[in-house]
Structure formats: structure tokens, C-alpha cells
Amino acid sequence: MLLAITVHEYAHGRVAYEFGDATAASMGRLSLNPLRHLDPLGTVTLLLFGFGWAKPVPINPYNFRDYRSGMLWVSFAGPLANFALALLSLFLFFLPARLGVHWPLYLQFFNMLVIYNILLGVFNLIPIPPLDGSKILAALAPAGAAALLRRIEPYAPVLLILLIFSGAIGRIIWPVFNAVRVGMQALVLLILGLP
């Protein structure tokens, strides 16, 4: 989970930098060092419950050369980085089978990387603030709809917590998770020439 969170936050900062915002770089957050991204409370919950969060990478969208496009791609960057890491992890998971070897701890490690990265990517695409999906929706939506999203933003974390603890989020995430994993796995097996 720590690897997934670190890659996610780094991707936001890197894409923001490419769009003209050096805020994360100037604060030392444009890094793959997990210690730079740890949030104290998020780390405690990660250790206790297996679910946590990082400090969001600081960005200043007013530094973007193109505000709307910058917000869209910076918001997409985290989930896309998680999906890319999941795909790489799946490749490394199935590679020993292609080579005719079996390493249980190795397989367990890469299987967990696949699970956490797909889950984090899918979860962050939910269009509820403060998740990335809400920023993607705001960047794509007409001005009126984006204004409505900004008005509900102060109440959204409470809504998100209620949805998580009621199990509603799980009913959304797991079918999407399964579809993404099946698709990625089919691609990896095709590349490796495995049945």
C-alpha cells in the first residue's frame, strides 16, 4: 500500500511540474521516497487497518499553462500511475510461470501490489471530493456543474465516510476492480504467451 500511495502522489506532482507548476518540487515532494509523502494519521490507520492515505502533493493550478487541461491531467495522473504499476506487477507476477519457476513470497508480494494499485486507482476515480474523480469531473464539466461540485465540497468527506462504512463504496469498487484486473491479466498473459 505504501508503494501504491507513493507512486500515486509522485505522479500528481510530476504531471503538475510538466504543466508548469513547481510547487511540489520546491517543497521536496517530487520524490519516490515514501517518507516525503507520509501523513501521520494516514500512516497509523495504514498500520492498524491496512488502509491509509498520504499527504496530498501540493499543487497550485494557477501556475498551469492551461488551467483546465492541467487540472484534468494532474488529477488523472495518480490513478493512471496506479494502473501502470498494477500492470507491471501483473507482468512480474506471471513472468516466473513463463520461466518455469515458482517463488511463493515473490508471487505474494506482486499479487498484493496488483490488488492495492488497482483498488487505489479505482477508488480515486470516484467523483466525490476530495478524490481525484471529483477533480476530473470538474475539469470536464460545464462551468455550472463545476460550481455545484465546489459548493458540495465541504460536505463531501462526510458523505464519503458514510459511503465507505455503509459498504456502498465496496459495491461500486469491487465489480470495477474485477473488470480491470481481468482485462490487465488477459493482456499480460497474451504478451507472455501463457494460456
Instruction: Exactly one of 1, 6, 8, 9 is catalytic; name it.
Output: 9
Cβ atoms of 123 and 171 closer than 8 Å: no
Count other C-beta atoms under 10 Å from residue 22's C-beta. 14
Give the cell for residue 108. Answer: 505474494
Give the cell for residue 94. Answer: 506471471
Give the cell for residue 109. Answer: 508480494
First and final C-alpha spacing in the chain: 29
Nearest 5°: the CA angle 54, 59, 60 is 155
Spatial separation of the C-alpha atoms in residues 168 and 147, rounded to whole Å:
26
Place of cell 505504501: 2
Active site residue 153: no
Closest CA to 56 of 85, 86, 70, 77: 77
Cβ atoms of 7 and 81 closer than 8 Å: yes
Give the cell for residue 146. Answer: 463545476
The conformation of residue 52, written as its DSSP 8-state character, comes to -
Catalytic residues: 9
